[in-house]
Structure 1
Amino acid sequence: MTRKSPEQLRSRRWYGGEGLRSFSHRTRTRQLGIGADEHMGKPVIGIVNTWSEINPCHLHLRERAEAVKRGVWQAGGYPIELPASALCGETFQKPTAMLYRNLLAMEVEELLRSYPVDGAVLMGGCDKTTPALLMGATSAGLPSIFVPAGPMLRGHWRGKTLGSGSDMWRAWDDKRAGLVDDRQLAELEEGLARSPGHCMTMGTASTMTSVAETLGMTLPGAASIPAVDSAHSRMAAASGARIVDMVWEDLTPAKIMTAEAFSDAVVTVLGLGGSTNAVIHLVAMARRAGVPLSLSDFDRPVPVLADIQPGGRFLMEDFYYAGGLRALLAQLKPWLHVSRPVASGGTLDDGLADASVHDPEVIRPLDNPLAAEGGLAVLHGNLAPSGAVIKPIAADPSLLRHTGPAVVFDSYAEMQRTIDTVPVTASSVLVLRGTGPLGGPGMPEHGMLPIPKSLLQQGVRDMVRISDARMSGTSFGTCVLHVAPESHVGGPLALVRTGDMITLDVPGRELRLEVSDDELDRRRAQWSPPETRFLRGYAALHAQHITQADEGCDFDFLAAPGENPEPDAT
């Protein structure tokens, strides 16, 4: 393998030579307290850290950055930490962190392009940070490695093991049904999330960090390690050491995130029973890499082997002890391209060489899957011409073929006000619109519409629910999501009226509004687009350039092909 020389380092354009600007750059580096022998002729590694005091998923990343730096120094590099937006999942950031995914992706791209950086360590894990970091690094084109934040510890309450998201939804339904009182709810608040780290279910965070590992952008086994386990710190240091060699080898994302890698990432999502949000993120990530990926690529007969909430029983800590992602990928080898390169320097197969399953209840064998297929299904029909998605393993099987009358809500606020008072039965189909990429804005996680209180009190725990929103990867139920085109741009969802019959046919992959074409044409002629809400700032930029769910919800100008020139270092 041909290795770069120190003269070929990108950072030399800033530090090398005899010109005034090079002299100035070296002077300012001395001002930082860094001597010439500490950085001259060495790879400069940008540590893009999404740590924040308001992001509990990343609360430990300040310490992990020090471990990364240790690895960089030991391998002969020079580390510089570059703070970036935290994107605190859906925990605090309103209206949704998804609104800002592309902002972080753009920030990462421009950080890496504008500074004297030869390679990058990307630190994140909360839902939107993983795709955003990888999208930005892909567009920047510099050698990069991802350090996943890791899942939090299992939750506990009165002798029960709990998942931070999935059991939160269940507890809230029980509260509304009168089965949990305020004191019990207060105890649950203290027991659901007990440590730093992202959700310990197979929610969006664990799905996307697993995707990052399968793509080849982490060290083998990195995604499964609990956030507070000492192995996590060792992994961070090893990643810091490895990125230095990746710079010398010029191992860039383009050489790792190939069409085969994205195919394997899709297989991983399906085998994990992963989050529906992975569809949007992977489409966007693939397009940044110049790889065509569409909704149809996710509708594949791959067995679900990970028995993890919300589709299964266990949690990410159990998954780690059972062998982690490496063990699951070893089971899925017949569907994978194992000879492709990965960040560790070898092939995907090299990283799976000694992988084994330690608990076949958590990571199922191929002859005893959690489900033969059904991790994700893609639907089309006159209600979703550009597609919609559903997670069949998280749904009530009796509802996967269902026809019922629509109960329509024009906004999430309206739904909150009226959900417990509108006429509804267990066979009704709840429809929420105005929550897509443009209408949300940002496509918030509103797709798991609450069951009306009257039905909860009767014991109903699932209904067919349809929206142009997303839902949390920790959510569950018969929820049809990402309906495209969204209602805000005049998609058919905008034409549904309360009382219309809707047919969901998951085996047939169809979502159909039982209204004639002539009637839909009449309604369409009467429809007018909503007024523009955002006149300035980032929200206005978002409104002008966001693409639809089936296209990845990236900005059109960020997803555009081609490379920007390097900045002038003079």
Structure 2
Amino acid sequence: MALRSDQWFAHKSDETRLQHRAAMRAGGHVPESFAGKPIIGIFNSWNDFNSCNFPHKELVEYVKRGVYMAGGYPMELHTITTPSDFMKPSDLPYRNLMAMDIEEQIRALPIDGVVLLGECDKTVPAQLMGAASCDLPTLQLAAGHRASTTFKGKKVNYGTDLWKYSEERTAGKISEEDWSELEKCMTCSRGGCPVMGTASTMKSVSEMLGVMLPGTSSIPAGHSWRQEAAEATGKRIVEMVNSNLTISKLLTQEAFDNAIRLLAALGGSTNAVIHLTAIAGRLGLQIELDRFAELSKDVPLLVNLQPSGVGSMDDFFEAGGIQAVIGQILPLLDGNCLTALGRTLTEVYGDGVPIYKTDVISELEQPIAEKSGIAVLKGNLAPNGAILKVSASKAELHKHCGPAIVFEDYEAMLDQLDDLDFPVEENSVLLLRYCGPKAIGMPEWGEIPIPKRLMQQGVRDMVRISDARMSGTSYGTVILHTSPEAAAGGPIGLVRNGDMIEVDVEKGMLTLHVEESILEERRKEPLRAGTHGARGYMRLTADHILQADQGCDFDFLRPDSKKEAVFIPPIVGRG
């Protein structure tokens, strides 16, 4: 079998062949060990800032072992990573940089198959975007979720419970001593967030898309099955190279439709809307925003996990995990799509997987909730759309009309909301703008805090609108990704304090009740300048990032159609 790596190590030019083989020897890789074998590039994304991905420091060795056992030769590569807890102002732009890092290394190096080691919010989609642009056989391995822990005898989960306790602190119900104790208790192990946030959502989506081995996406980080999954991943990727099962054969339009339906059943993260759109876009596949609403409308919520429910990822794993969910919704899916095993969804999940905790994973006929998925809202406030996570929002606010309170500065907004004299009522619509992809990289500022005075009165949810994102672990009646954003001239930039805004989730409407003639006058006012850096990568981001409804990828990395998608080109000349 001809291998891509033969272009380096079995080249017809004696000089080129010697150069590359000698360079491998310098790193301790003798040709007798790798010649004629599939070379597997293992892209590792851990670093000391990224506790979510830290388990891959160990897991990579199990992947290597699996590669060796199957007759391949592993080569470990390190990439940038995107620790969401630390990256300011937002980790989203660095998703694209990480994707470019992976894509360019795959293109430039003698690699026959790819293993992607990811976990946290942006690493998993970044890896899929980069690999999709190259179309080699590809598998992904998650680090696994961290364990739940306890605070004052109660189970707490990093992410969702952090926001809940923050609200209680604002309401004056948590002392400084308890707050300090919570810091020590909130997260005590490594791995991704232990709720159905963005990390857990994207791992589940990766398995549905066929890029992660069946049954591996929901294994905890501390479980020995995680090492077994790593070894199995190493074995399987060699088989995929030998059978030429490339990633484009897995990431089909039908597979993305399946992923959208799974997103609804999970009550998964709103960030998945951006990521799925971006991954598909790398293959020249279009996912219109309305597709999320269309494919979700008949899919109920089957998973009772935070933030849409009460359970944790440990509960999910013990209940049967992602396999049980896919088995339940299989009648709603295209069962002919391929899994990472090269067999169809129907063949792998068709016999059904037992549900061991029906209070965590429900049967399709008796769901946790009838309504789930992503609602898409459009109107004169969001011509290209905005989204709402139905399962994590308050149904009573799905039809609402109230006066806008507008914020343009995040830090100043926080100070105002903490002011007990701030003029706000429960029916007010809080609106934050100039925090979209072009303005500042689209940070997770969309879950605007409830004003302190209202919090102390017992209010826990309000209608909130922004051109930002929110954490996948967050909740509330939070309308996000308003497109076009204010910095791109979107109508969200025209709203003034007191303007009436109407939300109708059932009809998919988001309406600003202001006369068009008045809006036309407001359009003559200059746009506020974005706060992206004036140089380097952030300058590139400001100049080339697409809007939220297009996945926030770079315009120059997205082909216009599947026919125009650019994969690995032929290699010529010396290296």
Deviation at 1:533, TM superposition (A): 4.9
Contact 2:282 2:565 in 1 (8 A): no
Structure 1: distance between partners of 2:352 and 2:461: 42
The CA deviation at 1:139 is 0.2
TM-score by length of 1: 0.97
- What residue number does 2:16 align with? 21
Query: Partners in 1 of 2:199 and 2:378 — Cα distance?
Result: 27
Q: CA deviation at 1:293?
A: 0.8
265-274 vs 287-296, greater mean Cα deviation: 287-296
Listed as ranges, the gaps of 5+ residues in structure 2 are: none
- The two structures, once aligned, show a CA RMSD in angstroms of 1.3
1:140 to 131, 134, 146: 134
**1:447 and 2:446 matched:** yes
| Counterpart AA for 1:359 | K
1:354: how far off? Answer: 5.1
Q: Which residue of 2 aligns with 1:543?
A: 542
Report the counterpart of residue 437 of structure 1 in structure 2: 437
Alpha-carbon distance between aligned partners in 2 of 1:274 and 1:327, rounded to the nearest angstrom: 16
- CA–CA distance in 2 between the matches of 1:325 and 1:73? 29
1:310 maps to 307
Query: How many angstroms apart in 2 are the aligned matches of 1:526 and 1:259?
Result: 42
Q: Is the Cα–Cα contact under 8 Å of residues 409 and 433 in structure 1 kept in the other structure?
A: yes
1:375 matched to 2:369: no
Q: For residues 281-322 of structure 1, give each alpha carbon's deviation from its aligned partner in whole angstroms, at most 9, with x where no partner exists.
A: 111111112222111111132111011100111011111110
Shift of 1:569: 5.0
Q: Which of residues 55, 61, 71 is equivalent to 2:56?
A: 61
Q: C-alpha distance in 1, partners of 2:530/2:89? A: 18
Q: Please report how far the alpha carbon of residue 201 of structure 1 lies from its aligned counterpart in structure 2 after TM superposition.
A: 0.7
* 1:511 partner SS: strand
**1:270 maps onto 2:264 in alignment:** yes
Q: CA–CA distance in 1 between the matches of 2:531 and 2:121?
A: 28
Deviation string 1:10-30 (CA, Å, 9 cap, x unpaired) is 001000034212101111111
Task: Kindly provide the amino acid, as one letter, of the partner of residue 358 in structure 1.
Answer: Y
User: Which residue, out of 83, 88, 93, partners 1:94?
Assistant: 88
Matches within 5 A, 1:439-478: 439=439, 441-478=440-477
Q: Which amino acid aligns with 1:294?
A: E
> Which residue of 288, 311, 321 corresponds with 1:324?
321
For residues 66 and 246 of structure 1, what CA distance do their matches in structure 2 show? 20
Q: Which residue is 2:107 aligned to?
A: 113
List aligned pairs for 1:179-218, cutoff 5 A. 179-218=173-212
Distance 1:241 1:219 in 2: 11
Q: Which amino acid aligns with 2:189?
A: S
Determine which of 158, 164, 173 is the counterpart of 1:170: 164
After superposing the two structures, state which structure 1 stretch, 265-274 or 18-27, moved more: 18-27
Q: Deviations over 1:23-42 (max 9, x none)?
A: 01111111222222210000
For 2:319 and 2:79, how far apart are their aligned partners in 1? 34
The counterpart of 1:75, out of the listed 70, 79, 86, is: 70
Q: Say whether 1:392 aligns with 2:394.
A: no
Query: Which of the residues 412, 416, 435 maps onto 1:414?
Result: 412
Q: TM-score if structure 2 supplies the norm length? A: 0.96
Structure 2 counterparts to residues 215-254 of structure 1, below 5 A: 215-254=209-248
What one-letter code is carried by the residue in structure 2 that aligns with 1:93?
A: M
Give the residue type in structure 2 aligned to 1:327: A
Does the Cα contact within 8 Å between 1:218 and 1:344 map onto a contact in 2?
A: no
Distance 1:83 1:569, change over 3 A: farther
Deviations along 1:228-287, one digit per CA (max 9) or x if unpaired, are 110011001100110001111111111010011000000010110001111011111111
Letter in 1 for 2:322: L
Q: What is the match of residue 563 of structure 1?
A: 566
Give 1:376 deviation, angstroms. 1.4
Which segments of 5 or more consecutive residues in structure 1 lack a partner in the other structure? none
Task: Tell me how far apart the structure 1 counterparts of residues 477 and 5 of structure 2 sit (CA, whole Å).
Answer: 52
**Partner secondary structure for residue 112 of structure 1:** helix
Matched, 1:482 2:481: yes
SS of 1:278 mapped into structure 2 = helix
Is the deviation greater in 74-83 or in 389-398?
389-398
Any conservation in 1 of the 2:284–2:565 contact (CA below 8 Å)? no
1:343 paired with 2:336, answer: no
Shift of 1:526: 2.4
Distance in 2 (alpha carbons) for counterparts of 1:185 and 1:367: 42
CA drift at 1:531? 6.0
Identity of matched residues, %: 46
Distance in structure 1 (CA, Å) of the matches to 2:532 and 2:551: 23
How many residues align? The count is 562
Could you report, residue by residue, the CA deviation over 1:501-530 in whole angstroms, capped at 9, with x for unpaired residues? 111111111111111111111111224352
SS at match of 2:133: helix
CA contact (8 A) 2:98 2:127 kept: yes
Measured in 2, the distance between the counterparts of 1:289 and 1:264 equals: 17
1:47 and 2:42 matched: yes
What's the secondary structure of 1:526's corresponding residue?
coil
Does the 8 A contact of 1:46 with 1:121 survive in 2?
Answer: yes
Tell me the equivalent position of 2:510: 511
* Cα distance in 2 between the residues matched to 1:54 and 1:378: 35
Looking at structure 1, the residues matched to 133 and 16 of structure 2 have their Cα atoms a distance apart, in angstroms, of 27
Match of 2:253 in 1: 259
Report if the CA contact (8 A) 1:401-1:505 is conserved: yes
Distance 2:83 2:570 in 1: 31
Amino acid at match of 2:399: R
User: Counterpart of 1:266 in structure 2: which amino acid?
Assistant: I
**Cα distance, 1:183 vs structure 2:** 1.6
